[in-house]
Structure 1
Amino acid sequence: MLNLSVLLEDSASRFGTRPAFSSGSTDFTFHQVNVMANQLANALKKLGIREGEKVAMTCPNCIWFPVIYYAVLKTGAVMVPLNILLKSDEIKYHLQDSQAAFYFCFEGTPEMPVGKLGWNAFDEVPGCRDFVLIGANKPAGERSYTLAELMAGEDEDFDSCVTDAEDTAVIIYTSGTTGKPKGAELTHINLYCNAVLSAELFSLSQTDVQLIVLPLFHVFGMTVLMNAGLYRAAHGILLPRFDAKDVIENINKHQVSIFAGVPTMYWVMASYIHPEITDQQVGNALRICISGGASLPLAVLEGFEQRFSVQVQEGYGMSEGSPVVTFNDPKIGRKPGSIGTPVWGVCVKIIDQEGQEVANGEKGELIYKGHNVMKGYFRRPDETREVLRNGWLHSGDIAIKDSDGFYFIVDRLKDMIIRGGMNIYPREVEEVMMKHPAVSLAAVVGVPDDKLGEEVKAFIVLKENQQVAEREIIDWCRAMLASYKCPRYVEFRAVLPLTATGKLLKKELKNNL
């Protein structure tokens, strides 16, 4: 028997007076967070929530995210966190697909009216019984409440539901880069084991301060920062959005020792100069930096480390893997550019198209099995069977393993470009272009070609005050790559499209050719 809410409850019982989270200008102790979660759990019980029912939530990184998250788990229901950037039709899809019975939605601002979008979606989903606004101005409707009125006067104690370790705790929706998003069912034991091993990997302790700017609706921030932080009673600083200036100021103000981010965050921070806070001040506070969510270009890693004199430890994970699969464990060793070695309890191998394991140094699909593997895609047995075979989860990522047992991601199988029958991995080309002194960021995609099937196109963001011709970029690549891998087209852009979690949206680049 295991309920993931034990992470919060245990720290509240042992370290109740210590700060659990700082949200805005307010500190919240472990005891306070647990009490608020208990009050909300009692309110949900009065509304008739049942074990196993789905509760969706659209909420930025603020104190209400962990409160709602753990309140739902305490009742034995299933948490369904949603991307805060979704529009009404997308929210409607997620509410219907997850069969959500309740929906918590942040009010937002006039510029970003999240609450209005959420209510419009909720109002078109009859199976979703109650709407709870995280804010003051609830919409007129019989089934709507504000979070404050729902919690008012509720008992501060709650006897958490006894759930089985294999029960679904959270449904995380994949990004939907191909087709409709799918909900990965993660169990209590999936998420518990991943939180514990994350805490071990980072040597997390009560003295650590974590900056939580990764969105908590994404499994990376949820597990590696929120859940692991509660497990070890660390202090989390909640930031609702990434801004290099805010990040650096919070690192300095709170003496943040752990920062976790996606590659684009490191890319921005490596070039941002704060007018008052020195690189040394930032580096003196940080103990470890963690990168995940996408492959970190070696040029970005080296630039960040040189500036702040702190190591960036890269790992690899997926929503379907709770998420951590491999990591550059300091106890084992580190190889820049590598995603490290398998974490505790997880087996990894590289296979060819026939399912046979390949030799070291050869490219193939990365597959894995262990306690981190999801139960399956919610209500999608065919897609589950396709990706989960004999207990092994097929990642769709192309990787190699070296003779020391370290893994390196080559590219996404779906992103691979086939030019005249030759396989081209975009990341290899991007890494070469990122070494050019004028290039700040690069993305490579395949574009249709009548003769060869696909051609290679590069989208490039230049460094400030830099100019370079398309021909120069192509010649730069030709000096270091086989000619068939080199881009035939180069387009310069001021910015590249990113997801809410900071991943490059190559699908959008392709759709707007």
Structure 2
Amino acid sequence: MGNLATLLEKSATEYPDRTAIVFGDTRLTYAQVNGAANQVANLLVSRGIKPGDKVALSCANLPYFSTIYYGILKAGATVVPLNILLKGREVAYHLNDSNAKAYFAFEGTPDLPIGDAAWEGFQATDSCTEFFLIKLDSAQPAPLSPPEFFSPLVAEQPPTFDTVETDDDDTAVILYTSGTTGQPKGAELRHRNMRDNALMGAELFGANASSPDTYLCVLPLFHSFGQTVIQNGGFAYGGTVVMLPRFDAQAALGLMLKEKVSFFAGVPTMYWGLLAALDESVDVKQLAENLRVAVAGGAALPVDIHKQFQERFGVTILEGYGLSETSPVASFSRFGQEPRVGSIGLPIPGVEMKLINDDWTDVEDGPDAVGEIAIKGHNIMKGYYARPDATDEAIKDGWFRSGDLAKKDEDGFYYIVDRSKDMIIRGGFNVYPRELEEILMEHPAVSLVAVIGVPHDSHGEEIKAYVVKNKDHDDVSEADLVAWGKEQFAAYKYPREVVFIDELPMTSTGKILKRELS
């Protein structure tokens, strides 16, 4: 099948008049989405973008995301989706690291000026030569000076395009993820990685193009979960994707009723929000009649939320597990079976999982045996872009080591125990302490810092920084450092709490003992 864009093209051929995307009052058919993606491909080719080139995209959950995403793929290029919360310096890093040659960015809102951060990052990058600013006001005349506006440029392009044939092993998407070694790394995902993972919908959820689902898209599309399970998985089976740019429980419930949503995917905090928003004004009976599938990932789902959702909606939430490096789905609870609460399920078809020790040896089976999850199969990335050493550390003989510790029961169901990395999961977003610590150390008042995650009711974890202060900066307060961090980091990353401390607990070899901080 080759190019990942064939998921869209096949549905556009078979169901041209079927609604592919709903956004507010806008309803786009498969033929329209495919035509718009063709226009994007033509624009890129006209600007000299060649197969294998990297093209970055910063966009909220809007129809633009999908049309540009598939347009990049059609041109034979690689999509580099960026988190819309990134600040200018972070955008520049990602553009440079991925060698992106072109960049599409949505203007954003006054509260979240995505376009401003994107333009700042683009201007600080030499390798990226094309920048297209997406403005909702398409009637706005094109500017005489940069940045160029997307809509008038793409409108000039023909809606037909011969999709570039790609090899199954060519890179379709680079998803940025971090490790404990600092800066984010780009996971290179092949066309077959992403395509095969999206096509799991039939076996995992009973997806069927003759009886298509209506998906509520509240998971960010720049993230692998929303991209594969909602967008690519929905388009693969001729479904309708209802887009909501930002999760709001009341708005989500309203759309679920209005559009008769049958498939919902979210992180645990979203389920927590939906349940909290249910009141007399919500027709829960109708919601429950429409809803066929509910899936969760990103963090462990509390037992109480499982029970409440089952009681109110009559639907069992299916928990899954995966990482950017695994396209992302690696394991899932089985549709139609009683859930094992707390379990991330069984490996998906075509994928193997096992528990290993630090030295890659297999952990001996046993009810209390704990090991690091290793994964092998069609979903494993090609490697980390331009980082052969990091790739070699992560992948051995086709097995990818996840960094997550788990147990396995006698029936083969896996249960996450802990994370062997220091990663913090805040509201479903991965936050890596080392990256924050390196930037915080740039502040003149900071002598030493340790960033940890602390339990939080709605976000799962909150970010806390313990700081040993330089003695000659007594005028700097904890609140000052919080405010400074807010300027440096994406909104989900900066420490909400800073605590000054005389010294950090350490081992005899000088390593900070984070487990003694709370």
TM-score, with length taken from structure 1: 0.81
Partner in structure 1 of residue 205 of structure 2: 202
Structure 1: runs of 5+ lacking an equivalent: 417-425, 428-444, 446-453, 463-496, 498-502
Specify whether residues 457 and 333 from structure 1 end up closer, same or farther in structure 2 by C-alpha distance, changes over 3 A only.
closer
Specify whether residues 370 and 230 from structure 1 end up closer, same or farther in structure 2 by C-alpha distance, changes over 3 A only.
same
Please state how far the C-alpha of 1:309 moved relative to its aligned partner.
2.2
The correspondence of residues 87-486 of structure 1 with structure 2, limited to 5 A, is: 87-135=87-135, 144-175=147-178, 179-205=182-208, 206-330=211-335, 334-358=339-363, 359-361=365-367, 362-415=369-422, 459-461=455-457
Query: Partners of 1:176 and 1:387 in 2: how far apart?
Result: 11
- Comparing 48-57 with 345-354, greater Cα deviation is found at 345-354
Instruction: Give the partner amino acid of 1:375.
Output: K
- Contact 1:269–1:304 (CA under 8 A) maintained in structure 2: no
Partner in structure 1 of residue 10 of structure 2: 10
Aligned residues: 443
Please state how far the C-alpha of 1:283 moved relative to its aligned partner.
1.6
Query: Partners of 1:52 and 1:272 in 2: how far apart?
Result: 46
Query: Partners of 2:420 and 2:185 in 1: how far apart?
Result: 18
Query: Partners of 1:512 and 1:236 in 2: how far apart?
Result: 44
Report whether the alignment pairs 1:85 with 2:85.
Answer: yes
Q: Deviations over 1:169-224 (max 9, x none)?
A: 00001156761111100000000100001343111234311101100000000001
Query: Partners of 2:57 and 2:16 in 1: how far apart?
Result: 26
Query: Partners of 1:42 and 1:293 in 2: how far apart?
Result: 36
Specify whether residues 345 and 511 from structure 1 end up closer, same or farther in structure 2 by C-alpha distance, changes over 3 A only.
farther
- Contact 1:39–1:155 (CA under 8 A) maintained in structure 2: yes
Tell me the secondary structure at the aligned position of residue 201 of structure 2: helix
Instruction: Give the partner amino acid of 1:346.
Output: V
Query: Partners of 1:511 and 1:7 in 2: how far apart?
Result: 47
Partner in structure 1 of residue 464 of structure 2: none
Specify whether residues 214 and 36 from structure 1 end up closer, same or farther in structure 2 by C-alpha distance, changes over 3 A only.
same
Query: Partners of 2:270 and 2:237 in 1: how far apart?
Result: 25
- Contact 2:331–2:348 (CA under 8 A) maintained in structure 1: yes
Tell me the secondary structure at the aligned position of residue 414 of structure 1: coil
Instruction: Give the partner amino acid of 2:102.
Output: F
Instruction: Give the partner amino acid of 1:304.
Output: F
Tell me the secondary structure at the aligned position of residue 337 of structure 1: coil
**Percent of aligned pairs with the same residue?**
45
Please state how far the C-alpha of 1:301 moved relative to its aligned partner.
2.0
Instruction: Give the partner amino acid of 1:148.
Output: S
Tell me the secondary structure at the aligned position of residue 200 of structure 2: helix
Please state how far the C-alpha of 1:110 moved relative to its aligned partner.
2.2
Please state how far the C-alpha of 1:273 moved relative to its aligned partner.
2.7
- Contact 1:138–1:145 (CA under 8 A) maintained in structure 2: no
Query: Partners of 2:15 and 2:333 in 1: how far apart?
Result: 30
Partner in structure 1 of residue 73 of structure 2: 73
Specify whether residues 15 and 85 from structure 1 end up closer, same or farther in structure 2 by C-alpha distance, changes over 3 A only.
same
Please state how far the C-alpha of 1:63 moved relative to its aligned partner.
0.5
- Contact 1:185–1:377 (CA under 8 A) maintained in structure 2: yes
State the superposition RMSD in angstroms: 2.9
- Contact 1:130–1:144 (CA under 8 A) maintained in structure 2: no
Tell me the secondary structure at the aligned position of residue 21 of structure 2: strand
Structure 2: runs of 5+ lacking an equivalent: 426-432, 434-449, 459-484, 486-490, 501-518
Query: Partners of 1:142 and 1:391 in 2: how far apart?
Result: 49
Please state how far the C-alpha of 1:355 moved relative to its aligned partner.
2.7
Specify whether residues 413 and 504 from structure 1 end up closer, same or farther in structure 2 by C-alpha distance, changes over 3 A only.
farther
Instruction: Give the partner amino acid of 1:364.
Output: G
- Contact 2:142–2:149 (CA under 8 A) maintained in structure 1: no
Query: Partners of 2:32 and 2:203 in 1: how far apart?
Result: 26
Specify whether residues 107 and 138 from structure 1 end up closer, same or farther in structure 2 by C-alpha distance, changes over 3 A only.
farther
Please state how far the C-alpha of 1:332 moved relative to its aligned partner.
6.5
Specify whether residues 57 and 458 from structure 1 end up closer, same or farther in structure 2 by C-alpha distance, changes over 3 A only.
closer
Tell me the secondary structure at the aligned position of residue 34 of structure 1: helix
Please state how far the C-alpha of 1:458 moved relative to its aligned partner.
5.5
Query: Partners of 1:47 and 1:222 in 2: how far apart?
Result: 26
Partner in structure 2 of residue 61 of structure 1: 61
Instruction: Give the partner amino acid of 1:100.
Output: A
Instruction: Give the partner amino acid of 2:302.
Output: P
Please state how far the C-alpha of 1:274 moved relative to its aligned partner.
3.8
Query: Partners of 2:457 and 2:53 in 1: how far apart?
Result: 45
Instruction: Give the partner amino acid of 2:116.
Output: K
Tell me the secondary structure at the aligned position of residue 223 of structure 1: helix
Specify whether residues 348 and 509 from structure 1 end up closer, same or farther in structure 2 by C-alpha distance, changes over 3 A only.
farther
